[in-house]
């Protein structure tokens, strides 16, 4: 039969929509064309697929090959479709059995040698695959990450030839297992903080209620030290939260599943752009606020952040998600994080001290504090609740 259908998954935010790869062999001059809104990396897969098939000692058909990636209105990017395209060509040319392909979904980039390479978004693909009641075959490097989805059967493979042997029932791939959760012994714990009873109490209240918190005080009073120890007093992630966090890190191609019961802690530098903080790009990717989902986002030297960057945090703090719209697509990333920030009382940092070290004028102090807008402060626990009695890493200032 000259027509083959193979299933795979695209990447759209933290979702993995189904993509049907249709491969047709017809008479005519030998060629390979890919249609269905492919981007540059997908168009280049024709060369990778041809070399991978030949170097796997399989036959590449000398016919006119048309590959359709459906639905046509869904943007396709990356090399994640290489394995599905290669298997579709082999099935259409009669080199692997066609009926068995309907039981599986395939995901992976092919090297020229035929080896499989990992792709981002393995866990969302496994979750969606389980809902479709199909099994997933993926690169063995990404298989343990995909296996975090307890309702799906995931098989890891090292090469195209190994996948073909599994489909022929000559060699069976081993089902991947989720990695054991590591017991993380925090290097930074609250017992390291000596004194600071009031500041520690504020941190404990914020941790128990999930409140945002701003530490306000001069340098050296322990603001950063206290904030960095918040994860040590937070509870572990439950199953649902763990999958949400792992899915975000999977889409971002970052490893978090080895410590999948711990809450993430992100501390971007104050030079970070708005896109780096909330996510974006031509192909939307998660930013720092999504990588801090179900965890802590720590912003040190808060007034040093651009005001435009801080303002983009207002909506995610309220809604718990960020929606990124582009001309071709729209992606939604989860962003339920706990904001912990730290700032000095003035540009030099010593306003209000009794040693007269501060030389800042009232106007300089006002301009410095006005870098943070009122609506932003309304979303932070300490300055909103203690407008006259401001909490910082020492005694309270009135």
Q: Alpha-carbon distance 381 to 211, whole Å?
A: 6
User: Among residues of the chain, what percentage have pLDDT more than 70?
Assistant: 92
Give yes or no: residues 244 and 349 share one domain.
yes
Position 40 in a domain = yes
pLDDT at 215 over 70: yes
Highest mean pLDDT among 17-26, 257-266, 279-288, 308-317: 17-26
pLDDT at 171 over 70: yes
Task: State the residue range of the domain holding 16.
Answer: 3-167
- Distances in Å between the Cα of 124 and the Cα atoms of 56, 137, 192, 207, 352 are 29, 14, 39, 29, 51
Choose one of 167, 202, 226: the last residue of a domain.
167
Position 176 in a domain = no
Give yes or no: residues 152 and 197 share one domain.
no
Q: Are 156 and 191 in contact (CB under 8 A)?
A: no
- Of the pLDDT bands very low, low, confident and very high (cuts 50, 70, 90), residue 384 is very low
Q: What is the CATH number of the domain that holds 138?
A: 3.30.230.10
Per-residue pLDDT at 326:
81
Per-residue pLDDT at 309:
92
Q: Structural domain tally of the chain? A: 2
Enter the pTM of the model.
0.85
Per-residue pLDDT at 129:
94
Give yes or no: residues 66 and 208 share one domain.
no
Position 57 in a domain = yes
pLDDT digits (tens, 9 = 90+) for 59-74: 999 999 999 999 998 8
- Of the pLDDT bands very low, low, confident and very high (cuts 50, 70, 90), residue 397 is very low
DSSP-derived secondary structure letter, 93: T
CA angle 145, 147, 151 (to 5 degrees): 140
Per-residue pLDDT at 378:
85
Which residues, including other chains, have CB under 8 Å from residue 227's CB and lie 6 or more apart?
203, 215, 296, 298, 300, 340, 342
Give yes or no: residues 212 and 155 share one domain.
no
Per-residue pLDDT at 182:
57
Strands 116-117, 64-70: pairing is unpaired
Position 394 in a domain = no
Position 296 in a domain = yes
Give yes or no: residues 213 and 156 share one domain.
no
Place of tokens 């090959």: 65
pLDDT at 389 over 70: no
Q: What is the CATH number of the domain that holds 211?
A: 3.40.50.300
Give yes or no: residues 312 and 230 share one domain.
yes
pLDDT at 116 over 80: yes
Give yes or no: residues 121 and 234 share one domain.
no
Give yes or no: residues 7 and 138 share one domain.
yes
Position 179 in a domain = no
Place of tokens 């009873």: 197
Give yes or no: residues 250 and 155 share one domain.
no
Per-residue pLDDT at 283:
82
CA angle 354, 356, 362 (to 5 degrees): 100
Position 148 in a domain = yes
């Amino acid at each position: 039969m000259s027509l083959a259908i193979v299933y795979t998954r695209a990447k759209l935010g933290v979702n993995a929509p189904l993509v049907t790869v249709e491969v047709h062999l017809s008479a005519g001059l030998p060629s390979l064309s890919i249609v269905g809104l492919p981007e540059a990396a997908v168009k280049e897969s024709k060369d990778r697929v041809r070399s991978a098939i030949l170097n796997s000692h399989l036959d590449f058909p000398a016919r006119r090959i048309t590959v359709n990636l459906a639905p046509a209105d869904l943007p396709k990017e990356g090399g994640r479709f290489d394995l599905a395209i290669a298997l579709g060509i082999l099935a259409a040319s009669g080199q692997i059995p066609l009926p068995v392909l309907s039981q599986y979904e395939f995901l992976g980039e092919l090297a020229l040698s035929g080896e499989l390479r990992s792709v981002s978004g393995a866990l969302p693909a496994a979750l969606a695959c389980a809902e479709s009641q199909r099994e997933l075959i993926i690169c063995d490097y990404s298989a343990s990450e995909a296996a975090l989805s307890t309702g799906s059967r995931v098989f890891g493979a090292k090469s195209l030839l190994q996948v073909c042997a599994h489909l022929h029932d000559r060699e069976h791939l081993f089902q991947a297992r989720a990695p054991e959760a590591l017991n993380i012994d925090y290097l930074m714990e609250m017992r390291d903080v000596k004194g600071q009873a009031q500041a520690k109490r504020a941190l404990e209240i914020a941790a128990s209620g999930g409140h945002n918190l701003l530490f306000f005080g001069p340098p050296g009073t322990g603001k950063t030290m206290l904030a960095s120890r918040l994860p040590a007093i937070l509870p572990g992630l439950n199953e649902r939260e763990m999958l949400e966090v792992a899915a975000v890190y999977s889409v971002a191609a970052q490893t978090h599943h080895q410590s999948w019961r711990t809450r993430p802690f992100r501390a971007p530098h104050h030079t970070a752009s708005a896109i780096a903080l909330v996510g974006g790009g031509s192909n939307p990717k998660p930013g720092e606020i999504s990588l801090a989902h179900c965890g802590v986002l720590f912003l040190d030297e808060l007034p040093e952040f651009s005001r435009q960057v801080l303002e983009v945090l207002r909506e995610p703090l309220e809604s718990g998600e960020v929606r990124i719209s582009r001309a071709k697509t729209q992606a939604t990333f989860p962003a339920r994080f706990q904001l912990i920030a730290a700032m000095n009382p003035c540009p030099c940092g010593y306003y209000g001290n009794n040693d007269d070290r501060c030389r800042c004028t009232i106007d300089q102090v006002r301009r410095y504090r006005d870098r943070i807008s009122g609506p932003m402060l309304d979303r932070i626990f300490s300055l909103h609740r203690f407008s006259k009695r401001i909490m910082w890493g020492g005694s309270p200032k009135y």
